[in-house]
């Protein structure tokens, strides 16, 4: 199963980070290939984006199902394709290092199944590393802007 773990330390108070994370409109558009998202309820978000894995290019709709929300420290979630079973999971964790510095950790694991599962998982492994780095930079930059408000 392809997975990726990212850590970043930000000179931003943990409360500011959680004000940002609380609203999916702040971070959902930062994922590469983003098309749109919709809040289904307090625990689910439908997220549509364009997948570009070299040999596999298509529009993908995922449902983020929030399993745990422990503000201001951790959010755990599962990913599912719309009307299908589990395909992955992850978490976002924040730890205050001091009053104005926070360590943010993000983790994502994907498990493609079916006839093309092995090929998809090998493509996901490389794509997750690149995408997670892009997302970490994008969210960090957006958080710094958000903190200046």
pLDDT tens profile 83-131: 666 688 999 999 999 999 999 998 888 876 665 555 555 545 555 544 5
Which carries the bigger pLDDT value, residue 22 or residue 137? 22
The overall average pLDDT reported for the chain is 80
Residue 71 has pLDDT above 80, yes or no: yes
Residue 20 has pLDDT above 80, yes or no: yes
Residue located via tokens 């104005």: 100
**104, exposed or middle or buried, with CB in 10 Å at 0-12, 13-18, 19+?**
buried
pLDDT band at 3 (very low <50, low <70, confident <90, very high): confident
Provide mean pLDDT across the span 9-36: 89
Task: Give residue 11's pLDDT.
Answer: 92
């Amino acid at each position: 199963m392809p997975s990726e773990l990212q850590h970043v330390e930000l000179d931003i108070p943990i409360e500011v980070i959680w004000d940002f994370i609380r609203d999916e409109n702040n971070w959902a558009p930062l994922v590469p290939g983003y098309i749109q998202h919709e809040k289904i309820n307090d625990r689910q978000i439908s997220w549509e984006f364009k997948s570009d894995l070299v040999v596999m290019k298509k529009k993908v709709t995922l449902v983020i199902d929030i399993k745990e929300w422990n503000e201001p420290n951790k959010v755990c979630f599962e990913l599912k394709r719309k009307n299908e079973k589990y395909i992955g999971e992850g978490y976002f964790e924040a730890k205050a290092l001091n009053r104005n510095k926070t360590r943010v950790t993000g983790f994502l694991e994907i498990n493609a199944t079916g006839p093309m599962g092995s090929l998809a998982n090998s493509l996901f492994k490389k794509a997750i590393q690149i995408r997670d780095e892009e997302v970490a930079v994008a969210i960090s930059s957006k958080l710094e802007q958000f903190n200046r408000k």
